[in-house]
Chain A
Amino acid sequence: NAGVTQTPKFRVLKTGQSMTLLCAQDMNHEYMYWYRQDPGMGLRLIHYSVGEGTTAKGEVPDGYNVSRLKKQNFLLGLESAAPSQTSVYFCASSYPIYEQYFGPGTRLTVT
């Protein structure tokens, strides 16, 4: 099992560009999550999903959109990137919720 994988691992964007981060899990988990982590900070929840076709807002959803068209995939989109979105993005999946499995992270820089 690969667990949770994230694509890409690194990306540099210019302000105003768009991109999609892909998260894939092969554990048949119902729940999936997107977090961001800034230097010296804990993880902050962006959006999450409790099942295929469902999404919900987390703590810091502004500037991001998500989709969960397939159970194993959870996509995070940035429509118009801003320097404030420079961060490390982690995806996680779980069932039940307490044992979340995290991916390796995507390091995004917006210039």
Chain B
Amino acid sequence: DAKTTQPPSMDCAEGRAANLPCNHSTISGNEYVYWYRQIHSQGPQYIIHGLKNNETNEMASLIITEDRKSSTLILPHATLRDTAVYYCIAGASGGSNYKLTFGKGTLLTVNP
């Protein structure tokens, strides 16, 4: 899996958009970008993933740069319940790879 780099912490005001960056400059062509989050004491939760196109679902949007060396997870209207550690993971899907490598992530704190 490609190494990812994330800031250790970020703050965001409630109701504003939260933009979480991730650097994955060594990502290879068949590796996806995945985002998970972990709310305190709970198991991680899948958010979104993408290969090279921007993706959106009910939770978030994922913007991947054209060279695929970095990406941004966007929570459009952050709430207090979005306070969590957010993990960016780069890894292949299928074939002989069946696992994801979680780093330390970014602690996002949403403030009232």
Contacts and interface: CB of A to CB of B under 8 A. Distances in A.
Interface of A: 4, 31, 33, 35, 40-45, 48, 50, 56, 58-59, 90, 92, 96-105
A103 B46 contact: no
B98 A45 contact: no
Interface string B26-61: 000000101010000111111001000000000000
Interface of B: 32, 34, 36, 41-46, 49, 87, 93-94, 97-105
Contacts of A104: 42-43
Contact of A92 (B32, B41, B43, B49): B43
Contacts of B98: 31, 48, 50, 56, 97
Nearest to A45: B99
B94 A100 contact: no
Nearest to A88: B41
